[in-house]
Amino acid sequence: GQNIDQPTEMTATEGAIVQINCTYQTSGFNGLFWYQQHAGEAPTFLSYNVLDGLEEKGRFSSFLSRSKGYSYLLLKELQMKDSASYLCAVNAGNNRKLIWGLGTSLAVNP
């Protein structure tokens, strides 16, 4: 079957660094996405990885290892507004549908 695992909840302190992990088992792979979703709002696109390695975008970076079925999202210099749910999603190549994780709820404390 298709499965994506990520921690349910994490907490961190303002100004710190946090790493949110995602592991996946899918029948195919055409790329991995990270989305940010504030409570009651729409998910917004953060990053996309299709090749192994690290992609950096300002305070956010995303890493992929296809052989391990593993990705992480790294958030640096945390701000209160980073408190949100972070969703990992994989395009498994089946009708271009995304397989979604349940999300990691991140709480940033002062």
Binding region for other proteins (CB under 8 A): 30-31, 33, 35, 40-45, 48, 50, 87, 91, 95-98, 100-103
Provide, rounded to whole angstroms, the least separation between the CB of residue 41 and other proteins.
7
Distance in Å, CB of 16 to other proteins, minimum = 27
Which DSSP letter does residue 13 get? E
Closest distance to other proteins from the beta carbon of 31 (Å): 5
Q: Which is nearer to other proteins, 2 or 83 (CB)?
A: 2
> Which residue, 5 or 77, is less far from other proteins as judged by CB?
5
E strands, 6-83, are 9-13, 18-25, 32-37, 44-49, 53-57, 60-65, 70-75
Please give the Cα distance from 51 to 75 (Å, whole number).
20
Of 15 and 97, CB closest to other proteins = 97
Nearer to other proteins, 33 or 63 (CB): 33
Torsion angles phi and psi, residue 81, rounded to 5: -70, -10
Give me the least distance between CB of 91 and other proteins, in Å please. 6
CA–CA dist 25, 44 (Å, integer): 24
Distance CA 11, CA 9 (A): 7
